[in-house]
Amino acid sequence: MKISKLSIKLLRYITPLVVLPSLFLGGFTLSNVTSSTQKQAKLTVSRFVEQQQQKILNYIDIYQSTTKLLSTSPVLNNYLGVRHLDSDTTEQRRVALQNVFASYTEAYPDIFSINLVDQQGRSTAYLANNLHLPPQGYAFFNQVRKSNLRQQYFMIPTDNGMTHLYFVQQVFAVNSSANQATLAGYVVVRVDPSIINYSILESPYDNALNLLITGEGKILFSSAPALYAQTLQSQEVDQVHNLADQEELTNLNLPSINKLDMISYAVQLSDDYYYLSAIPKHVLYESGQAIKNLTALIVLLSIIALPILVLIVVRRFLINPIELLGEASHRVGDGDLSVYLPNDNKDEVGKLFRDFNHMVKQIRDFQGELEDYKLHLEEKVDNRTFALERMNQQLETAFTQAEQANELKSRFLANMSHEIRTPLTAIIGFTEQLINNRDTQCNQKHLETMLRNSKHLLELINNILDLSKIEAEKLAVECSEVEVQPLMEDVADIIIPMSEQKQLSFSINYQFPIPKVLYSDATRVKQILIDICSNAVKFTEYGKVTIDVSYDVSTEHFKFIVEDTGIGMSQGEISRVFKPFEQADSTITRRFGGTGLGLCIAKNLAQLLGGDVMVKSEQGVGSQFVITIAGNYQDDTPPQMQNTLEVQQTKENITQEFADIHVNARILLAEDNLDNQELIALLLNAWGITPDIVDNGAQAVEKALINDYQLILMDMQMPVMGGLEATQMLRHAAYDGPIIALTANVMKHDIESYLKAGCDATLAKPIDREQLGKVLLKHLQLQAASESKWDSLLKSEKFAQIAHNYNQKLPEYLAQLKQYYQRGDWESLRALAHSLKGSAGCFGFTNIHSAADQLEQMLRTNDENQWHYAMLSLTEAINYTLKQQICESTKDYSESRS
């Protein structure tokens, strides 16, 4: 292989840069590998020993807690309390205690036996899982009696090569007469030391020796069974103690048990027990020696191989690509554009190759485009012509659709013009007839015709407004409690006269049980049912119209099925029936009339109320409309069901109710329209009420503040000052009587703004006589009751006493005012003025009320001259009131003397 000059130059510079760091790194690694190995060995062994220590201590803590829990058992306390009773009772409670022992042995399989001994070591209750008799005594019992510790544990080696683990807990008996506890004995629990055996047998290294020894050097547990029960020499025991204190991994020579050179680590358990782990030195540092040998080998190989590898890598990734790029550039210069460099790499060389390939491709594409323009210019002209023709077709389609939309709009406007002009013709014609022929006998009939056409015209306008709000997504629905039966009776009251006029039968069928109420918008639910039922009556020549009312418990929806025996519809007509401005066909419009808005509005309203409207129909047979409305019940409050119809209540007669309560009300009417003034006054006169009438809000405020009105009817749109501003001004002036808003704007946000301004209720225009009567009756009754209570309160002896006490406090209030003013405590002065404003008004001292209000307002400004004037006015008002009280007292005294 030919070696380039660049390769030789790179090898000359790279070799020392690679060899010298490798030698330094190798020496540093060899010098530190031993210490690192020792640290790693210490960490491994110390962590292992501490884990075993914690495991053994946890095991001991568990059974110490179990023994303590057993010593507090109520059954044990009962047994200790009957030792001086008869033998039968003692035996019964001993059996109960042994049952408790048995439950503990079942819960803790490591428990071999449980023994209750007295202070002399005699067994009084014993249970063992091997059914042996209780032991005659314990070797450690003397030590237990001498100790003051309540809890102790002992590890006792035996002759059969095992170590027994005992837990001892003091037991106290409570003397009820002396109210003190005395030592009654000990609970001795023998436990299988399984966890300790497992801990001794575990080891992080092979050939490791693990021991658990006593403070005197007795071996209790050993990973080498031959060392069991042996005893270390005294100097070896001292070494173990020192090693446990130091907590270091060091050499430990134990010739009595092992002749090898051992590295050991020891920790002290509680109660003078020691855990020792010893590992042969050659085993512990074997891995470190291997690392040193491997490090030396790596350093040697790196010195030899790294320069060669670096050269190979540089040649492969740098020199060879440079040579390949130079050869490709030469070929492109000769006109060969088929050159392509491999660009699989993601590094800078790969990016350079991609840029070179892109450059060659651009040159090739430009040449191809030039040839393409030369050869296919005519084809491109044809394609452009075809695209223009397709665009013209799309424009023609859009123009056709626009003409159809315009035609639909014109048809709708013509239909609406016909629908609006029809009732207007009747209204205008009969009005002219009544004006010109006042003595005609048909006045009542003509007036009824005018009223009916007016309501029809209002219905058309409401439908158009509802549809516009639905399309603008601005229609809001309420959610309030609606009683089902009164709702259906209201619908029947409207539909029955229509059906009787066409000699049709109409009925409502209830599928009981159904809820008594649902939570929805009563007005909109009634509108849906009336629209669909009136449609059913309109398109039915003979037969019947029925409404089935049911309730689906699974979906919590009401279902209203309106069924008729009318003309029916085809499938094509059904697909268009819920679209706006459309009926089945033009013949339907000519024959039955209508705008085609009712069903569209009904379906949208039902969807807003959580349901839907669906239709089934057959031509010549009839139609069935299925209306679903959500009940909106809460999950935790199921609806109250009813199984029968309730007795129908008699409709309220507003005029009779007004006559019954004998309301002598004084009402103010604020209305700028003369016709509306005359109409509302006429309605009020029928109930025995003659209102005062003003033309704008400013006059209403002036009248209301001068006169005592029980109720105000306030139009919201008036010149000079609107009803909204007038209401706010009256409320700020402390007018607390009812204010009823009259408005044609009945959107939800409009009503909310009226109520927020201070109105008590809202009446929509045109004025509905029944609604007006109900609102007036409600608020006039409340006002009459409130005035009656207030008059009785003012005449009561208790109020007189309170007023007298307030009069006595006026000098004190006057002194406080002067003190705050002289001291410059403006905040306290303003607070006292605010308090006097409210209290003086309540007790009828209007002069003090006005002066205190003026002082409070002035203190909110920065004009100190105004402060002085307001303060002077308030002090003079209080002084004047005090003088008046003195004069009245003197007069009363003189009259009593005479």
Q: How do residues 773-792 score in pLDDT, each as one tens digit?
A: 888 888 886 555 544 544 55
Residue 897 has a CB neighbour count (10 Å cut-off) of 6
Query: Percent of the chain having pLDDT more than 90?
Result: 10
Q: Is 812 exposed, middle or buried (0-12, 13-18, 19+ CB in 10 A)?
A: exposed
User: So what's the pLDDT on residue 557?
Assistant: 92
In 3-state terms, what secondary structure has residue 628? strand
How far, in Å, CA of 318 to CA of 314, rounded?
5
Angle at the Cα of 462 (from 547 to 503), degrees rounded to 5?
35
User: So what's the pLDDT on residue 515?
Assistant: 92
How far, in Å, CA of 199 to CA of 54, rounded?
10
User: So what's the pLDDT on residue 590?
Assistant: 45
Q: With residue 180 as reference, give the H or E element that holds it.
A: strand 180-191
CA max distance for the chain: 150
Considering only residues 38 and 531, tell me which one the structure prediction assigns the higher pLDDT. 531
pLDDT at 36 over 90: no
Three state DSSP letters for 554-602 = CCCEEEEEEEECCCCCCHHHHHHCCCCCCCCCHHHHHHHCCCCCHHHHH
How far, in Å, CA of 3 to CA of 574, rounded?
91
In 3-state terms, what secondary structure has residue 822? helix
User: So what's the pLDDT on residue 547?
Assistant: 94
Take residue 114 and report the two structure tokens written for it: 């449980």
Residue 453 has a CB neighbour count (10 Å cut-off) of 19
DSSP label at 273? E
At 209-247, the pLDDT tens digits run 888 888 788 887 887 777 777 788 888 788 888 877 777
Considering only residues 803 and 189, tell me which one the structure prediction assigns the higher pLDDT. 189
Question: Average pLDDT of 348-371?
Answer: 77
Mean pLDDT of the chain: 78
Take residue 159 and report the two structure tokens written for it: 């002759």
How far, in Å, CA of 89 to CA of 67, rounded?
25
At 720-741, the pLDDT tens digits run 899 999 999 998 888 888 999 9
pLDDT at 601 over 50: yes
* DSSP-assigned letters across all residues of 710-749: SEEEEESS-SSS-HHHHHHHHHHTT--S-EEEEES---HH
User: So what's the pLDDT on residue 340?
Assistant: 76
How far, in Å, CA of 163 to CA of 221, rounded?
7
Of 571, 581, 559, 575, give the one whose Cα is nearest residue 619. 571
**Which residues lie below 8 Å from residue 529, measured CB to CB, with a gap of 6+?**
488, 491, 547, 560, 562, 627
pLDDT at 507 over 80: yes
* DSSP-assigned letters across all residues of 239-262: HHHHHHHHT--EEE--TTT--S-E
- Bridge pairing between strands 692-694 and 667-670: parallel
At 742-785, the pLDDT tens digits run 987 777 778 889 999 999 999 887 777 778 888 888 888 655 55
Length of the chain equals 898
**Which residues lie below 8 Å from residue 455, measured CB to CB, with a gap of 6+?**
none
DSSP label at 316? I
Query: Percent of the chain having pLDDT more than 70?
Result: 76
How far, in Å, CA of 39 to CA of 45, rounded?
10
At 664-707, the pLDDT tens digits run 678 999 998 786 788 788 888 877 788 999 999 999 999 998 88
On the CB side of 223, CA atoms within 13 Å amount to: 20
Rounded to 10 degrees, what is the CA torsion of 831, 835, 836, 839?
A: 180
- Bridge pairing between strands 711-715 and 739-743: parallel
pLDDT at 421 over 80: no
Of 153, 148, 262, 142, give the one whose Cα is nearest residue 214. 153
Region class of 15: left (phi > 0), else alpha (psi between -120 and 50), else beta:
alpha
Of 689, 669, 685, give the one whose Cα is nearest residue 739. 669
Q: If pLDDT is split at 50, 70 and 90, which confidence band does 711 have?
A: very high
Of 547, 529, 539, 528, give the one whose Cα is nearest residue 604. 528
Angle at the Cα of 829 (from 824 to 830), degrees rounded to 5?
125
User: So what's the pLDDT on residue 223?
Assistant: 76
- Bridge pairing between strands 544-552 and 505-510: parallel
Q: Count, in order, helices (H) and strands (E) of the chain.
A: 27, 24
User: So what's the pLDDT on residue 586?
Assistant: 47
Q: With residue 893 as reference, give the H or E element that holds it.
A: helix 864-897
- Strand segments, DSSP code E, in 347-498 are 480-483
How far, in Å, CA of 324 to CA of 345, rounded?
14
At 245-278, the pLDDT tens digits run 777 777 777 777 776 667 777 887 776 788 888 7
